């Protein structure tokens, strides 16, 4: 069991280094959590106020479904309520990434959702990437807003803040993050060459069915 736990911690540490190297996050911003397989609603989560690319395995905290610390010496992420609320509402998610990639933040800052204009988007995100209504970081209101905006989706933008992506594994949550940031960047670039065209309704419906089948397999 201890060996498995260390693997979770190492996975989180490596992921934040990867996000930093790829320009998907920076500095002390962002947080990651992972649901522990086989344990009753316990999760590993990153600490608050630490440069994320310098995290060590011993920095990662173990928390329960209420957000209480079970193991660890640091303070958990300020968004701990948000993480546990998502896990409670959506049991098919086992990993959550909150990051601050540039193009996605442009949409978050303007409070504009990212529409579906690429076929690949629906497979990864479930549809358009909605914007969760603004609330202060770490507040119960923000957790409620995010849970509501995540309905039938794997990603959501936080108004004036960042992006949340979820998946059955940390690697798949990362894939969703990459998809969202690519879509945001392509959307921006498309405005420079005449604007974009959204997908036909029949295509959206077909892609949504594929997404639902993927969820059933999780």
The CATH number assigned to the domain holding 174 equals: 3.40.225.10
Percent of the chain with pLDDT over 90: 81
Q: Give the number of domains in the chain.
A: 1
Q: Sign of dihedral through CA atoms 146, 69, 39, 14?
A: positive
Q: Which residue among 21, 57, 58, 79 is the active-site one?
A: 79
Structural domain range at position 161: 2-216
Q: pLDDT by residue (tens digit) across 39-98? A: 778 999 999 999 999 999 999 999 999 999 999 999 999 999 999 999 999 999 999 999
Please say if the pLDDT value at position 159 is more than 90: yes
Mean per-residue pLDDT over the chain, rounded: 93
Residue 151 designated active-site: no
Please say if the pLDDT value at position 3 is more than 70: no
Give the residue from 176, 129, 150 showing the smallest Cα distance to 15: 176
């Amino acid at each position: 069991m201890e060996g498995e736990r260390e693997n979770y911690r190492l996975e989180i540490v490596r992921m934040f280094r990867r996000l930093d190297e790829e320009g998907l996050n920076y500095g002390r911003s962002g947080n990651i959590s992972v649901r522990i397989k086989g344990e009753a609603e316990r999760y590993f989560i990153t600490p608050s106020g630490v440069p994320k690319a310098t995290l060590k395995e011993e920095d990662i905290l173990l928390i329960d479904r209420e957000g209480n610390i079970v193991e660890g010496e640091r303070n958990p992420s300020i968004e701990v309520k948000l993480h546990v609320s998502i896990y409670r509402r959506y049991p098919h998610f086992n990993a959550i990434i909150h990051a601050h990639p540039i193009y996605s933040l442009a949409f978050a800052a303007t409070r504009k959702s990212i529409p579906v204009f690429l076929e690949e988007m629906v497979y990864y995100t479930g549809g358009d990437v909605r914007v969760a209504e603004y609330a202060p970081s770490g507040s119960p209101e923000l957790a409620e807003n995010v849970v509501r905006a995540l309905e039938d989706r794997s990603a959501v933008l936080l108004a004036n803040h960042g992006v949340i992506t979820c998946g059955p594994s940390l690697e798949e949550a990362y894939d969703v993050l990459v998809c969202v940031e690519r879509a945001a960047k392509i959307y921006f670039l498309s405005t420079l060459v005449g604007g974009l065209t959204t997908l036909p309704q029949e295509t959206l419906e077909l892609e949504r069915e594929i997404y639902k089948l993927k969820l059933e397999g999780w």
